[in-house]
Amino acid sequence: MVVSKSLEDVAVIYPQGYLNNLVGESLEKECNACIGKGIKKIVLDFSKTKFINSIGISILLSIIEKLKKHNGILCFTSLNKMHEEIFEMLGITKYALVFRNEDEALKHFRVAVKE
């Protein structure tokens, strides 16, 4: 339901399909695991996400809160137009960095792109 990869101190996570309670829970678990390993830069890439429902949004809030506590940084990448508008409207984008795609986020963290 979520696929992730770690690149040095950055983790990229790809929630798949429908970000509801189920996918949301495994997403949260994955983030917690990263934080547990000391990775505090998390990129959530939504290129594989079709819908984010309100439960998904509340889970994103939990992740934001947790990362804030650990002084981490959260990035959103590849948001579709609707989700971007919604995040903007809800004010979520104030608590995360938004990039057009994963590469731009990684560039921001100055990480070489490796496969």
In angstroms, the CA 40 to CA 11 distance is 8
Taking the C-alpha atoms of residue 99 and residue 83, their distance in angstroms, rounded to an integer, is 13
Q: Is 26 in the site for other proteins (CB under 8 A)?
A: no
Q: Which is nearer to other proteins, 95 or 109 (CB)?
A: 95
CB of 19 to other proteins, least distance (A): 11
| Residue given tokens 């960095």 in the structure block | 97
Angle 54-69/21-36 helices, nearest 10 degrees?
10
> With binding defined as CB under 8 A, does residue 47 bind other proteins?
no
Pick the piece of the chain touching other proteins (CB under 8 A) from 4-12, 29-37, 71-79, 88-96.
88-96
- Candidates 1-9, 29-37, 83-91, 102-110; binding stretch for other proteins (CB under 8 A): 83-91
Residue 38 binds to other proteins (criterion: CB under 8 A)? no
Element (H, E) at 73: strand 73-77
Three-class SS of 27-44:
HHHHHHHHHHCCCCEEEE
Binding site for other proteins (CB under 8 A): 18, 20, 22, 51, 53-55, 57-59, 61-62, 64-65, 68, 80-82, 85-86, 89-92, 94-95
